[in-house]
Amino acid sequence: MKTLSPLDDVPVFTTRIADFVNWSRKNSLWPLPFGTACCGIEFMAVVGSHYDVSRFGAEVVRFSPRQSDLLIVAGTITEKMAPVLKNIYEQMPDPKWVISMGVCASSGGFYRAYHTVQGIKSLIPVDVYVPGCPPAPESVISAIIKLQEKIFKGETPQQKLLERRRAAELSSRAANEA
């Protein structure tokens, strides 16, 4: 956040509204764990007491896509599951982000097989990929931190899309008024 140094005795600081919004977004991610396989179990370890993802403000795990803004695809996505994943993603409100956890979700992994989707990028856009089979919980936490950095800078495609929509709305309103 681009803050001016707060005056010593006044609990006030100044910032830009966009920065403030991004700052709050980054620190209150509500993940939806789309856990299908081994990575899903490992994600439980990330949420569990030892690794404790709540230190990074992302512990409110929601299983309803309508209440979450971060989709963590943890596990192999099969052809049978693919339409379901797409559906879930479309039901999430904007802005939304995706972490592809593990090689199966990222590229199909070592399942070069007839019933395994070869990477979820053919279904939904992905913001951060996490390698590993399954990734160590530390890598997942690192991915969350990476995503937070991206969100704070407003760099993710989702945020840019929102900005463009906003700009278009403003300009059309201005045109109407003129």
Six-digit token pair at 31?
């993940």
CB 48 to another protein: min, Å: 4
CB 124 to another protein: min, Å: 14
Rg (CA), the chain: 19
Binding to another protein, residues 66-95 (CB under 8 A): 75-76, 78-85, 87-88
| Residue type at 18 in one-letter notation | A
| Binding test (CB under 8 A) with another protein, winner from 25, 29, 34, 98 | 34
CB 168 to another protein: min, Å: 32
Instruction: State the SS3 of 137-155.
Output: HHHHHHHHHHHHHHHHHCC
CB 121 to another protein: min, Å: 15
| Interaction between residue 41 and another protein (CB under 8 A) | yes
CB 80 to another protein: min, Å: 4
Query: Is the four-CA dihedral 150, 134, 107, 60 of positive or negative sign?
Result: negative
User: Which residues, 6 or more positions from 123, have their beta carbon under 8 angstroms from its beta carbon?
Assistant: 77, 82, 85, 86, 89, 117
Closest CB to another protein among residues 42, 127: 42
| Interaction between residue 112 and another protein (CB under 8 A) | yes
| Binding test (CB under 8 A) with another protein, winner from 19, 23, 30, 37 | 37
> How many Å apart are CA 73 and CA 82, to the nearest integer?
11
Paired residues of 31 in beta bridges: 70
Q: How far is CA 93 from CA 68, 72, 96, 161, in A?
A: 8, 15, 7, 13
| Interaction between residue 36 and another protein (CB under 8 A) | yes
Closest CB to another protein among residues 132, 154: 132
Positions in the binding site for another protein (CB under 8 A): 34-38, 40-42, 44-45, 48-50, 63, 75-76, 78-85, 87-88, 104, 110-118, 133-134, 136
